[in-house]
């Protein structure tokens, strides 16, 4: 595996790292690794991954047609074009991770892994904003945070990179353990512990254990500990982690990295004094993110950067330069004075509460609307948690609440129970958008949020005209 800005992948090395058996020896060099025939180009090696909805083996004809120089499969192909290579493995997803792990072993710099119930992508972007000011930095694209996305990110790593920042997601126990095994992070950050994915993990303690797999899987390095999250503090106290150094961050409790003198600047975000100990460094930060939770994300990013050896001055510059990723508390000003907050990328009970608290704290001349789609992956807790979130929205003083999805009645019932006067459920996006268009006036503020599968960004596009 050699190269300067692009990698070349060699057949025999791939067989060795994946434990694969060579069914056909054709092309021996590959320009890239692919898992998607829609984006595959000539000369690449295609991994036929088998998932719940698709089996990559059914797309082998397309892979050959698009010029794949070779394929990695777990079942023998019906046909093998002349000059193409075929590697047979027991599990193509496992093989993908094993190859990524081998490639990761060629990297000697700091590799930061970020997980948590919310704020992962935002924190990852903040860290990348800081590190990229020092040297070439590889960071996960979008939310490439699973058994496919993490390896594909690692495959983009070349000798020019000096830092790597990865995001780890999960739906079940053992997934973060495997991602940690693949990536071998030297710095591990857990942003927070909340109810996201509780439907797969039983209870919030199960969520904490699953997130804690990151730290338990680290052979060496530094963990960044959120002093304001008691479950994370408990995880960090595990005696099995004494071989890891640690750096702490927080706003409410004494920590190595903290924020003082917080000033709410409305739609412009926050200003605060970043303090980093023991260097007694202080700098005023203009953070262009809505929501106090993003101050916590900024502190976590700063802590990870300190662990990576970045100078405090550079950390401050990187935080000031960063902007929110799409769909994550992005303020939109429309002609005529209407404000929208686009927080449509995802939702869980904690992130909804944070978003609603942000809306409640903003000073505007008009009324405040919230349109919320279902929160997924809450399992048997879904009804109760939607009811609780509805109550929280009402207690925050939101003027008008709309809801879409299977749990919309539970959300609205909770809001009405807590005293909300104007609540509505809608069968689809069209009905919700029509209600909003009829109600919204200049000076009003609308928050739109929901789980990824609810596609709540469709509501945003009705007002902005953008896809």
Whether 203 and 148 have beta carbons less than 8 Å apart is answered as no
pLDDT at residue 2 greater than cutoff 50: no
Distance, in Å, from the CA atom of 50 to the CA atom of 53, rounded to the nearest integer, reads 8
Nearest Cα to 302, choosing from 320, 325, 323?
320
CA distance 372 to 375: 9
Distance CA 256, CA 300 (A): 11
Kindly state the average pLDDT of the residues 434-461: 96
Contact in structure between 444 and 422 (CB atoms under 8 Å):
no
**Contact status, residue 186 vs residue 209, Cβ threshold 8 Å:** no
Q: What is the mean pLDDT of the chain?
A: 94
Question: 44-83 as b/e, with b when 16 or more CB fall inside 10 Å?
Answer: bbbbbbeeeeeebbebbeebbebebbbbbbbeebeebeee
Q: In the sheet that 245-249 helps form, which strands lie side by side, from edge to edge?
A: 137-139, 163-167, 111-115, 187-190, 222-226, 245-249, 257-264, 270-276, 281-287
Distance CA 282, CA 312 (A): 8
Q: Where are the domains of the chain?
A: 9-97, 107-321, 330-464
Mean pLDDT of 33-60: 95
Tell me what pLDDT residue 207 has: 87
Sign of the C-alpha dihedral computed for residues 200, 203, 209 and 214 taken in this order: positive
Look at strands 330-334 and 338-343 and give their pairing: antiparallel
pLDDT band at 347 (very low <50, low <70, confident <90, very high): very high
- pLDDT at position 200 is 62
Report H helices in 255-381.
Answer: 293-307, 312-321, 349-361
pLDDT digits (tens, 9 = 90+) for 298-322: 999 999 999 999 999 999 999 999 9
CATH for 107-321, among 3.40.50.300, 3.30.70.3270, 3.40.1190.10, 3.30.1360.20? 3.40.1190.10
* pLDDT the model gives residue 199: 62
In contact, 92 and 47? CB cutoff 8 Å:
yes
Judge residue 18's burial from the number of C-beta atoms within 10 Å of its C-beta, 0-12 exposed, 13-18 middle, 19 or more buried: buried
Architecture of the domain made up of 330-464? Alpha-Beta Complex (3.90)
The three-class DSSP label of residue 199 is helix
Q: How far apart are CA 49 and CA 36, in angstroms?
A: 9
Exposure on the CB side of residue 299, measured as CA atoms within 13 A:
35
pLDDT in tens, 210-223: 999 999 999 999 99
pLDDT tens digit sequence for 375-430 = 998 989 999 999 999 999 999 999 999 999 999 999 999 999 999 999 999 999 99
- pLDDT for 204 equals 80
Which residue, 169, 116, 109, 164, is CA-closest to 140? Answer: 164
Task: Read off the pTM.
Answer: 0.91
Angle between helices 120-131 and 293-307 (to 10 degrees): 40
* pLDDT level of residue 171 (50, 70, 90 thresholds): confident
Q: Is the pLDDT of residue 1 over 50?
A: no
Listed range (93-102, 113-122, 139-148, 257-266) with the worst mean pLDDT: 139-148
Task: Quick: pLDDT tens for 208-265.
Answer: 999 999 999 999 999 999 999 999 999 999 999 999 999 999 999 999 999 999 999 9
With 70 as the cut, is the pLDDT of residue 4 above it?
Answer: no
Q: What's the pLDDT score for residue 467?
A: 64
pLDDT of residue 3: 38
393, 421 in Cβ contact below 8 A? no
pLDDT reported for residue 244: 98
Block residue for tokens 């082998």: 60
Q: What angle do CA 401, 402, 405 make, to 5 degrees?
A: 140
Average pLDDT over residues 95-113: 98
- Give me the CATH code for the 9-97 domain, please: 3.40.1390.10
Cβ pair 289, 269 in contact under 8 A: yes
Give the start-end residues of each E strand in 389-441. 400-404, 423-426
Q: Is the pLDDT of residue 335 over 90?
A: no
Q: Is the pLDDT of residue 42 over 50?
A: yes
How far apart CA 269 and CA 322 sit, in angstroms, is 12
Q: How far is CA 314 from the centre of its chain?
A: 24
Which residue's entry shows tokens 């509505």?
Answer: 424
Q: What is the DSSP letter of 188?
A: E
């Amino acid at each position: 595996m050699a190269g300067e800005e692009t990698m070349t992948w060699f057949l025999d090395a791939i067989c060795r790292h994946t434990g694969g058996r060579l069914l056909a020896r054709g092309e021996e060099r590959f320009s890239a690794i692919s898992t998607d025939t829609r984006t595959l180009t000539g000369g690449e090696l295609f991994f036929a991954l088998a998932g719940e909805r698709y089996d990559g083996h059914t797309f082998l004809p397309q892979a050959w047609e698009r010029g794949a120089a070779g394929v990695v499969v777990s079942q023998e192909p019906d046909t093998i074009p002349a000059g193409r290579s075929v590697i047979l493995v027991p599990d193509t997803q496992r093989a993908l991770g094993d190859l990524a792990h081998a490639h990761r072993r060629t990297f000697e710099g700091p590799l930061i892994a970020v997980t948590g119930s919310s704020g992962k992508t935002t924190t990852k972007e903040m860290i990348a904003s800081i590190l990229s000011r020092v040297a070439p930095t590889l960071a996960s694209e979008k939310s490439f945070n699973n058994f496919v996305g993490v390896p594909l990110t690692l495959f983009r790593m070349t000798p020019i990179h000096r830092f790597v920042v990865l995001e780890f997601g999960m739906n079940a126990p053992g997934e973060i353990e495997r991602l940690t095994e693949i990536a071998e992070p030297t710095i591990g950050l857990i942003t927070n512990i909340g109810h996201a994915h509780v439907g797969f993990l039983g209870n919030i303690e199960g969520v904490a254990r699953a997130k804690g797999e990151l730290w338990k899987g680290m052979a060496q390095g530094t963990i960044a500990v959120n002093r304001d999250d008691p479950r994370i503090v408990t995880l960090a106290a595990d005696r099995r982690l004494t071989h890891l150094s640690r750096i702490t961050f927080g706003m409410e409790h004494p920590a190595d990295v903290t924020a003082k003198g917080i000033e709410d600047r409305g739609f412009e975000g926050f200003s605060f004094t970043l303090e980093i100990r023991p260097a007694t460094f202080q700098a005023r930060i203009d953070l262009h993110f809505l929501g106090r939770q993003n101050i916590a994300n900024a502190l976590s990013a700063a802590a990870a950067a300190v662990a990576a050896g970045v100078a405090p001055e550079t950390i401050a510059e990187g935080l000031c330069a960063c902007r929110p990723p799409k769909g994550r508390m992005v303020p939109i000003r429309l002609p005529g004075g209407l404000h929208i907050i686009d927080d449509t990328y995802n939702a869980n009970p904690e992130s909804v509460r944070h978003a609603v608290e942000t809306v409640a704290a903003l000073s505007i001349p008009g009324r405040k609307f919230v349109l919320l789609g279902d929160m997924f992956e809450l399992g048997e807790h879904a009804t109760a948690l939607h009811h609780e979130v509805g109550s929280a929205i009402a207690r925050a003083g939101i003027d008008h609440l709309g809801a879409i999805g299977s749990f919309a009645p539970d959300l609205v019932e909770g809001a009405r129970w807590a005293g909300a006067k104007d609540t509505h459920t809608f069968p689809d996006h069209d009905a919700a958008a029509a209600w909003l268009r009829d109600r919204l006036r200049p000076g009003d503020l609308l928050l739109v949020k929901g789980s990824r599968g609810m596609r709540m960004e469709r509501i945003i596009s009705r007002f902005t005209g953008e896809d």
